Chain A
Amino acid sequence: MMVDQPHYKTSDEVDFVIIGSGAAGGILAKELSTNGFRVVVLEQGPYLTEADFNHNEIEVLAQDKLTNHPKLQPNTFRRTPDEKAKPQRAVLYGRCVGGTSVHFTANFWRFHEIDFVERTKNGPIAGTGLMDWPITYADLEPYYTKVEWEIGVSGLAGASPFDPPRSKPYPMPPLPAKSSGVIFEWAARKLGWHPFPAPMAILSQPRPGRSACINCGFCLGFGCEVGAKSSSLATVIRMAERTGRCEIRPNSYVHRIETDASGRAVGAVYFDEKRDTHLQNAKAVVVCANGAETPRLLLLSANKQFPHGLANSSGLVGKYLMINSGGVVTGQFEHPLNDYKGFAVSRVLHDFYELDPQEVGFYGGGGLDARFDFTPISFANGGLPPGTPRWGKDFKAALADGFNRTMEIFCHGTSLPLENNSFSLDPDLRDAWGLPALRLTYKDHPDDLKLGNWMFDRAHEIFAAANAQKSWSFPAREQQFAVHLLGTCRMGNDPKTSVINSDHRTHDVKNLFLCDGSSLVTSGRGQPTMTIEALAFRAADRITALAKRGEISA
């Protein structure tokens, strides 16, 4: 599937070097190369394709075939800045061409109007950095539509009364309802709520070179063998390659952005597969390395001119991290659901997207989805009711009994932006290349935990209304592991309280742009990728306009 690409020399000053090939980087590569620019994409992970993907749970999930490897790239964790961080795995992201979009669930909700103006609507929250976005839902709407049509999102417009306005329907109908979705829909309606077919970045109808979903059942966590999952790999990366102006350079681990005496970025310094160092020259640098690695790269790029890290005059690079609250409630039913077949999610509920803080006593909101995202081994490790023996005859019986009669309701919620919650450089631990390791500092705001427990209660109500034989959950706990990596170089008009402006240009370095989860100002309700991709399409338009007006070149 790999198309012939140009091979730029590192000494060629290309128009753009893009760091990261995931949800945002892939789209920027496609858009900028389509607009006539010469683009090099530096991806730290390997270039895997459909032929490399498989159903091997050990290789893919346990040994991180598609994700950052804890041995090569160890992390540390601490709850608060006054603690000494301890080595432990603290972050998970896709590390291959296509990034996290290769293995994601593909839940593709848009953000709603409220997500952009929450502070104005509800007022400030003491002790938090809750802020409005410098753009609104209306600014982003055309780009949400563009995502749906360009990469292929299945869904049913108008099915949720809570959906924000849209300019066009989905390009294809929703995926089939799974038993989990039918149960969820029936029970939630009984309670007077409004479940709807899940918008999913998975094809329900074939597109050229890509199959519709074959329901193989190895979806969340796995790469799609038939290109049905609308990852950047299966979509925009290939479109970028077909322009003949975009080179995807895998196994290229960027660890510094070089600047010149005038404070402009001149290119990206990276290790190749043999750990030789190169500088790729470029007129402008676009960092799409995710909400953990983007701030880390800026901090690693500190020099005499930028002693606290690149683009960090605000001191906020890496801060205001949000990882979304919530968790899962699991239930068992009398008859087989066989929910292991197919993609994970088929029904969603947004009745609690915008809760009234006066009424519930905390800030926040969320969405619920009906799913089964276990594969056989992960089910044995995490899908059985509490109190089940961990081995022996009764364990075996519980496995036999539970696997095809189980479903989950996943509760996805807001996180408040707190300055202490952050990614930073660990002062002691180094990665396999000798670079400072990522350090996660995180302590959930009490409201985030209250929201999680409140949503669990709603999920239990659904299971009760559905006559589940049993349902169980564990109280929301402070999190120590980040998958959604949001807010760490946030967008804003004020250079003192944000890192990038609404064009995704850093306030401090005129030819340095950042676009990924780090750009988000609020956390949304737990499904950020759709918004990251809409932002990327919009950023590409803004950057193209700036370049065409000559406002990027020196």
Chain B
Amino acid sequence: MAAFIARRLAGMVAVLFAVSVLTFLIFNVIPNSDPAQRMAGKNATPQLVANITEEWGFDESLPQQYLTMMGKILSGDVISYEGRENVDERIVEGIPPTFSLCFGAAAIWMFFGVLFGYLSAVRAGGPLDRALTIVAVAGISLPIFLIGEVLLVYLTYKTEILPSGGYVKLGESPLEWAEHLILPWVTLAIVYVGIYSRVLRSNMLDAMNEDYVRTARAKGLSERRVMSRHVMRNSLVPVVTLFGLDFGALLGGAIVVEAIFSLNGIGEYAYISLINTDLPPIMAITLFGAFFIVLFNTLVDIAYAYLDPRVKLGEAAR
């Protein structure tokens, strides 16, 4: 276990290095991205541009620039090109709204995804299964921005039931915090409810044909117990994998939902920085997101070994 975690940590450093180099290179080869030119403004004199170039170190070699930026990101001194604010501080500010959004949405989608998947599988082929299938396919197919806007139109602008967006700190008012997050939670969860319920349904239908389910029936277990202890338990393993990967990716910023509801989180910051081709925050957010993806990958592997005793950490599954 300790050896496994040590190996994974070493792997994480390698992944973060590769991701940062790639991001850095991409932004240095795309056209129209000379940051000194943009910082100097539309009517800048060549002298001003030259000054900025020298001051920010844009004339140094790419490896040197990369090292400087990475050093600043890791020490917390990195400043964005647009607005000249401290990037790391801004990311830390974005953590509460982003994490509030992700944890709440994840709770909703896991609950309903598993519930709908279970009901669909147990009643496979029946009317309830068909109704839930329609709901799931609709959730998967509808684009997130459309769902978000439709909810906003009907629940905010027309009926004024819920606030249109923004983030209220949990410490200030838990009630308002939740009120402001309901729409973002639901919007983000809808897609995942659809995917998770379909995955669980098909896993369960496969598991129902397993020999050990026949054994469980043959020893006289009730149908409910056969389903929960033998079918569901084994079908949840792939769902856990999926959850770890999705959730890890979202912690790095749920870009679309945050932008629609102006949550002022990491995802929205990423969105604004991308529009401005603002390299320092993009680098920092990419590293931040990659960190969580690798972290959750590792957690998924550990969970796997716990959920399926045949799997040994660090070995390929049989």
A binds B: no
